[in-house]
Structure 1
Amino acid sequence: MSDVLEIKLENLPIQHEEEVWSWESLLYGLLNGSSVALGIDRNDIDGCIYYKNRENPSIILYDKVPGGAGYMKEIYNQIELTFEKSLELLKGCSCGKETSCYGCLKNYSNQFTHDFLSRGAAIEILGNVVEQIKKEVITK
């Protein structure tokens, strides 16, 4: 059994028609950002979207190292940095916002989603999350 982290993002305004793919775009942006922010080999972590109900899907991240390597605990402990780095990486990519590339969201293992991934959708959601995190930090 490997480590698992469930991230629930509730009440996020998502404006894209293809909401399902917006969540997938967010997932891959977050995985790539986690890898860069925390120095984790991208091949050692993965994830999926869990739809318990339509309104509030969860992001499930997991450690692919047999027995776990503690990466989910690292991501959990550095969640603010992870979201910020993910947003920074996506904003820094030069591909079109309505699409994606191997520099921001695409990789070999997510080929089945390539036609649907949107850098702009991931930026929108991550921007909202980072904004909420900053508001919470300021009000505490």
Structure 2
Amino acid sequence: MRFLSIYKTVERTTPPTPEEMAEMGAYVAEAMASGAVLATEGCLPTAFGARIRREGNTVSVTDGPFAEAKEVVGGFAILQADSLEEAIEMGRRFIAVAGDGECEIRRLYEEGDFDAPCITHAELQSAAPN
């Protein structure tokens, strides 16, 4: 099973130290080599981003930084695990390296889930109303 691990934290005002980067790099390299982590990325501060919101027929865009955010997505990983419990344990190991914050673990849809076939992104887009 594949899981999405979303790391949420208070936005940092300083970049990680070289030691923190080395520790995270070693953790990620080990996890990817074992096949437990399929992909991972960190996010730049919200000052480099934007939020797009739809309410009814109105779409608005707000440029970062987002001062009202108490926590932000600091990064994500796609995990390969045999169970939610195994994915949770992987999240525990990650947060021990990453520091204060939380990891949200969400199972990703896979073919056969919910007795319905998975559809491709293209099929989903073609079915969406314009």
Structure 1 length normalisation: TM-score? Answer: 0.32
User: Which of the pair has the greater relative contact order for Cα pairs under 8 Å at 6+ separation?
Assistant: 2
Larger helix fraction of residues: 1
Q: Whose strand fraction is larger, Structure 1's or Structure 2's? A: 2
Q: TM-score, normalised by structure 2?
A: 0.34
Q: Which has the larger radius of gyration?
A: 2
